[in-house]
Amino acid sequence: MKNNISIAINKFRNGGGTERYILDLVNGFYCMGISPRVYAMMIDKNISEYKKINPFRVNLSLIPKPFKTLLFSHFIQRKKRENEIILSMAYTKADVLFCGGQHIGYLNSTNTSPTLSDRIKIITEKKALDGSKIIIAHSNLMKKELIKFYHIPESKIEVIYPPLDIKKFNIVNVDRRAELRKKFGFNDNEVIYLFPSTGHKRKGFDLLAKYFKHSDLPIKLVVAGTPVKEERNIISLGFRKDMPELYQATDFTIMASSYEPFGLVGLESIFSGTPIVFSENMACSEVLKGNFGYLFDRNNSKSLDDTINFSFKNKFRIDNPNSLLKYNPTLEEHIDRLIKIIDYIK
């Protein structure tokens, strides 16, 4: 089995949640003595995980975007070895297909009519979902949407929540936190709401920016990720490599996504000791319990106003994040469950 595990992803690099998840899998498999073959259309040779894989780059730079995935899938099947188990995050033909999001669910949540490009993408997704042996859904929300929108048999879908690097995201003491706030320029009399995002529209930036710009409270919306224009009560820090420290320094992490199949940033924040202020439709709320922060209705301006005002008056720190989670988020546990599935379908 060790020599027959392969992973398919569009881009093997540091990036958003999808890319980070695959790098976590590579690290997890490597700790078990497994160096997976990785099929990707782009491979970054400068990241540490590159030394832990057998890379197979597929050059499709001249192919129109709507058709890249179909040709990518075709290439993988041509190169597939006997008894090879393919795990895919790219909606290619695979034995195990990871589903951290899908297009019909997104369009439905945003009340958007599909374009021709959308329809091609949906056909590609449907073909990959039907052709897989097992689908790993990263939330119950995703499982329900796969059944409803893509008519996938419930028995074919396994819900396994994504892993979290609990060594990277951790709690610091009061003195260290004060140092970090000084490092980032946060004033003691300000309540800092962190907005970590590279896809601002879906994550609800416009909604939050409008609120913060007009608020008379001593609050700041700190954006980490894609740069934004700095305005009243809005600070842009750009892309950061010190996200654990940023979580530790802020008072809350805030998100108002229109569609969020999971939302790992919520767990990253909580395990850094920082409570969350999230829209209630974000799927990570499935796994949370106890006093993890505050939820609001993103479609109700009064709900947002009430929640921010309440959080402003009721700041607190989290000291036992494990007690707030309904599952074991360690990478070791996640890899163990994947190995059992791979052994089952062999």
What CATH number is attached to the domain comprising 141? 3.40.50.2000
163: DSSP letter = P
Please report whether residue 313 resides in a domain: yes
Give this prediction's pTM: 0.91
113 and 247 share a domain?
A: no
What is the SS3 assignment for 259? coil
What is the SS3 assignment for 250? coil
Given this model, what pLDDT does residue 1 score?
52
Residue 202 is part of which domain span?
174-324
320 and 336 share a domain?
A: no
Would you place residue 17 in the very low, low, confident or very high pLDDT band (cuts 50, 70, 90)?
confident
63 and 183 share a domain?
A: no
Phi then psi for 300, rounded to 5 degrees? Answer: -130, 105
Cα(162)–Cα(206) distance, integer angstroms: 28
Given this model, what pLDDT does residue 157 score?
97
- Tell me: pLDDT of 47 over 90: yes
156 and 181 share a domain?
A: no
Cα(318)–Cα(294) distance, integer angstroms: 13
Given this model, what pLDDT does residue 109 score?
86
Cα(211)–Cα(199) distance, integer angstroms: 19
Q: Residue 252, class by beta-carbon neighbours within 10 Å (0-12 exposed, 13-18 middle, 19+ buried)? A: buried
191 and 239 share a domain?
A: yes
Please report whether residue 168 resides in a domain: no
Please report whether residue 10 resides in a domain: yes
- Total structural domains in the chain? 2
How open is the CA angle 235-240-246, to the nearest 5 degrees? 70
Residues with Cβ within 8 Å of 253's Cβ and at least 6 positions away in sequence, in order, are: 193, 194, 195, 196, 247, 265, 266, 268, 269, 274, 275, 276, 277, 278
- When mean pLDDT is compared across 54-58, 79-83, 136-140, 329-333, the lowest value belongs to 79-83
Would you place residue 128 in the very low, low, confident or very high pLDDT band (cuts 50, 70, 90)?
very high
Please report whether residue 169 resides in a domain: no
pLDDT tens-digit series, residues 161-180: 999 989 899 999 999 999 99
- When mean pLDDT is compared across 75-79, 193-197, 289-293, 341-345, the lowest value belongs to 341-345
16 and 118 share a domain?
A: yes
148 and 281 share a domain?
A: no
182 and 312 share a domain?
A: yes
What is the arithmetic mean of pLDDT over 9-22?
89
Would you place residue 317 in the very low, low, confident or very high pLDDT band (cuts 50, 70, 90)?
very high
198 and 115 share a domain?
A: no
Strand partners for 216: none
Cα(278)–Cα(295) distance, integer angstroms: 5
What is the arithmetic mean of pLDDT over 186-199?
93
How open is the CA angle 124-130-135, to the nearest 5 degrees? 100
pLDDT tens-digit series, residues 240-258: 989 999 999 999 999 999 9
The amino acid occupying position 17 is G
Output the six-digit token pair for 273: 């000791």
- Tell me: pLDDT of 346 over 80: no
Q: Residue 273, class by beta-carbon neighbours within 10 Å (0-12 exposed, 13-18 middle, 19+ buried)? A: buried
